[in-house]
Amino acid sequence: MKFYAAGVPTDVTIPSVPVSSLLDDAAENFGGRTALVFFGRKTTYRELLHDVDRLAGALRAMGVARGDRVALVLPNCPAAVTAFFAILRLGAIVVACNPLYTDSELRHQLTDSGAKVAIVFDGAYATLDAARPGTALEHVVSVCLADFLPALKRKLLDLPVGAAREKRERLITPLPPGARAIPYTELLATSPGPVEQVPVDPARDLAVLQYTGGTTGRPKGAMLTHRNLVANAHQVRAWDPNARPGKESVLCVLPLFHVYGLMLCVVTGVLLAGTLVLLPTFDPELVLDAVKHERPTVFPGVPPIYSKLLEHPKIGKYDLRSIRTCISGAMRLPMDTIDAFQAATGGRLVEGYGMTESSPVTLANPLNANSRPGTIGLPFPNTHVKIVDEFRQDRVLPIGAAGEVVVFGPQLFQGYWNQEEETRQTLRNGWLYTGDIGVMSPDGFVTLIDRKRDVVIASGFSIYPSEVEDVLREHPAVYDAAVIGVPDPYRGENVKAVIQVAEGMQVSADELDVFCHQHLAPYKVPKIFAFRDGLPRNMIGKVLRRVLREEHAAEQAEQGGSGADQDPFADFRR
């Protein structure tokens, strides 16, 4: 394509190798290069491979074998990277879980996947333990984040001062008496030794079960093979022809339990033998400090991350000009954010597009002057995109016509775990039907104009209305509920719940807020509650969310405000 950046091919060669071979190659060619940085503690590629081998040996001794599922319930930390590669070394499958999930959310993923081992952050152990009954879990491994700090910083946590106590509480959560878990460090210390890569078929054998939701049910496990992940890593690598093996440093703020962070930070980062600068949560001060000390060159993210950094009062005191490449996804990237961030860094910030089902990236804007803000860019190498009629999906639409975006490429998933009908609806003749409505320009750039589905995107995280509605309907005072996304300049969207109260009952917004926090991850809890006598429905009784969105827009126009929350990440913290 003529608008690709110079040096970007239309097709790349995808090697037929397991994902763990990328780490083997990095350790062989750049063994002394720093692979991981966590609050100043550095691990070389040679050391990382050694830890992966030890953990793989320990997991094998537990009985983990090819095809088994192992749940990772971890924030960004060295154990998350080590465990990812160790599981794949055994031919087993990673089940990526959000450590902020409630026990009911976690139980669904554990039971649906059939995970037999879980590796869990201490702070999420109590939730996992509550979710454990009825699952197939045989072993739990507990991870303490403080174990990965430099020795001096670990000692400083013991100081009897307020700052040390606050950090200690954030990094250390003592396990309850009688906890049924093996400490991660103890497991490594008693490992019987390294194991060779268990033979896998990269095109068929699964590497990751990444759960993604829908508007008609609980989250489904997207089946991603070794080839899917290796393909997308090579596509991302090809998109940035200036990337230098053994020279790049990736700022890992995106959560690694999501395929976006996993692919752009870990898999692509290791393919490049880059340094992964791991941050367990997004905090502007931590990010700026990491940029100061580690000088990252690559910084994938979502729009609220970039805008929040730009708003930080101390940003002018930091030199951000090490940052060369940023790909943003999950939501629209505002032009003013692009301009301000590129001015602050001297690098490129472009918008891309993908889905969990595509490992995830399928399109992106070129990393040159041809980038077109407001679009999601051009198809990646080896990737084909067409626009089809939303109602007659075998009919390809002409250039400029709005229809469903459909994609094809080696990064596309193999279907949903144990969900044959859902798979047939989404994956047809090798093409992924995205559910997003878009338009393609004559020169191949795609612009999204609407979402066919009603998924709410808040700070880059997908929130599925039916899941929140199901929780609300469990409250005895709620007769029915409808959940919509409403615009927010910081988060992109907020969750709004419109409640029809049961006859003769009373309930307040505060009561529903408390109830939702008991059953949903914080970022899924509605920010706005509204009450009405009945919900708008069509002739067959289906709730018309479109009408609710229109009513909200009219109310905001009349009031002259957006009701925006000033901290887009407040609900992602505990």
Do 452 and 406 touch, CB atoms closer than 8 A?
no
Nearest-Å Rg of the Cα atoms of the chain is 23
Per-residue model confidence (pLDDT) at position 574: 39
Q: Cα 390 from chain centroid?
A: 28
Per-residue model confidence (pLDDT) at position 170: 64
Q: How far apart are CA 523 and CA 567, in angstroms?
A: 12
Q: How far apart are CA 288 and CA 310, in angstroms?
A: 10
Per-residue model confidence (pLDDT) at position 203: 99
Q: Which two tokens stand for residue 219?
A: 């989250």
With a CB cutoff of 8 Å and minimum separation 6, the contacts of 282 are: 253, 305, 308, 569, 572
Q: How far apart are CA 68 and CA 139, in angstroms?
A: 13
Q: How far apart are CA 198 and CA 319, in angstroms?
A: 45
What is the three-class DSSP state of 127? Answer: helix
- Phi and psi at residue 303, in whole multiples of 5°? -50, -45
Q: Is 172 left (phi over 0), alpha (psi -120 to 50) or beta?
A: beta
CB atoms within 10 A of CB 383: 22
pLDDT digits (tens, 9 = 90+) for 310-327: 999 999 999 999 999 999
Domains of the chain, by residue range, sit at: 20-281, 384-451, 456-572
pLDDT digits (tens, 9 = 90+) for 352-398: 999 999 999 999 999 999 999 999 999 999 999 999 998 788 899 99
Q: How far apart are CA 500 and CA 195, in angstroms?
A: 58
pLDDT digits (tens, 9 = 90+) for 424-436: 999 999 999 998 8
Per-residue model confidence (pLDDT) at position 459: 86
The residues with which 251 forms a beta bridge, in sequence order, are 277
Render 182-224 in DSSP notation, one character per residue. EEHHHHHHT-----PPPP--TTTSEEEEEEEEETTEEEEEEEE
DSSP 455: -
What is the three-class DSSP state of 501? Answer: strand
Per-residue model confidence (pLDDT) at position 164: 47
Read off the pLDDT of each residue in 20-32 and give the average, rounded to a whole number: 99
Place 216 in a pLDDT band, splitting at 50, 70 and 90. very low
Place 437 in a pLDDT band, splitting at 50, 70 and 90. confident
Q: How far apart are CA 84 and CA 82, in angstroms?
A: 6
Render 251-308 in DSSP notation, one character per residue. EE-S-TTSHHHIIIIIIHHHHTT-EEEE-SS--HHHHHHHHHHH--SB--B-HHHHHH
Q: How far apart are CA 45 and CA 275, in angstroms?
A: 9
Place 573 in a pLDDT band, splitting at 50, 70 and 90. very low
The CATH number of 20-281, from 3.40.50.2000, 3.40.190.10, 3.40.50.12780, 3.40.50.300, is 3.40.50.12780
Nearest Cα to 330, choosing from 485, 151, 544?
A: 485
Render 386-437 in DSSP notation, one character per residue. EEE-SSSTTSBPPTT--EEEEEESTT----BTT-HHHHHHHEETTEEEEEEE
> pLDDT exceeding 90 applies to what percent of the chain?
79
pLDDT digits (tens, 9 = 90+) for 447-502: 998 666 677 888 888 788 888 998 999 999 999 999 999 999 888 999 999 999 99
The CA–CA distances, whole Å, from 462 to 57, 99, 265, 292, 365 equal: 36, 16, 19, 31, 22
Read off the pLDDT of each residue in 323-333 and give the average, rounded to a whole number: 93
Q: Which two tokens stand for residue 59?
A: 């997991």
Nearest Cα to 226, choosing from 116, 359, 357?
A: 359
pLDDT digits (tens, 9 = 90+) for 103-121: 999 999 999 999 999 999 9
Q: Look up the CATH number of domain 384-451.
A: 2.30.38.10
Nearest Cα to 411, choosing from 247, 263, 569?
A: 263
pLDDT digits (tens, 9 = 90+) for 186-204: 999 999 988 999 999 999 9
The angle at the Cα of 266, spanning 213 to 310, to the nearest 5 degrees, equals: 80
Do 565 and 525 touch, CB atoms closer than 8 A?
no
- What is the longest distance spanned by two Cα atoms in the chain? 71
Nearest Cα to 72, choosing from 114, 119, 110, 138?
A: 119
> pLDDT exceeding 70 applies to what percent of the chain?
91
pLDDT digits (tens, 9 = 90+) for 405-414: 999 999 999 9
Tell me: pLDDT of 46 over 90.
yes
What is the helix (H) or strand (E) element at residue 438, kind and residue range?
Answer: strand 431-440
**Residue type, position 167, single letter:** K
The CATH number of 456-572, from 3.40.50.300, 3.30.300.30, 3.50.50.60, 3.30.70.20, is 3.30.300.30
Do 302 and 331 touch, CB atoms closer than 8 A?
yes
pLDDT digits (tens, 9 = 90+) for 505-544: 999 999 999 999 999 999 999 999 999 999 998 544 568 8
pLDDT digits (tens, 9 = 90+) for 231-285: 999 999 999 999 999 999 999 999 999 999 999 999 999 999 999 999 999 999 9
Do 259 and 95 touch, CB atoms closer than 8 A?
no
Read off the pLDDT of each residue in 207-228 and give the average, rounded to a whole number: 85
Per-residue model confidence (pLDDT) at position 166: 60
Do 217 and 109 touch, CB atoms closer than 8 A?
no
Q: What is the pTM (predicted TM-score) of this model?
A: 0.85
User: What rounded mean pLDDT belongs to the chain?
Assistant: 92
pLDDT digits (tens, 9 = 90+) for 93-105: 999 999 999 999 9
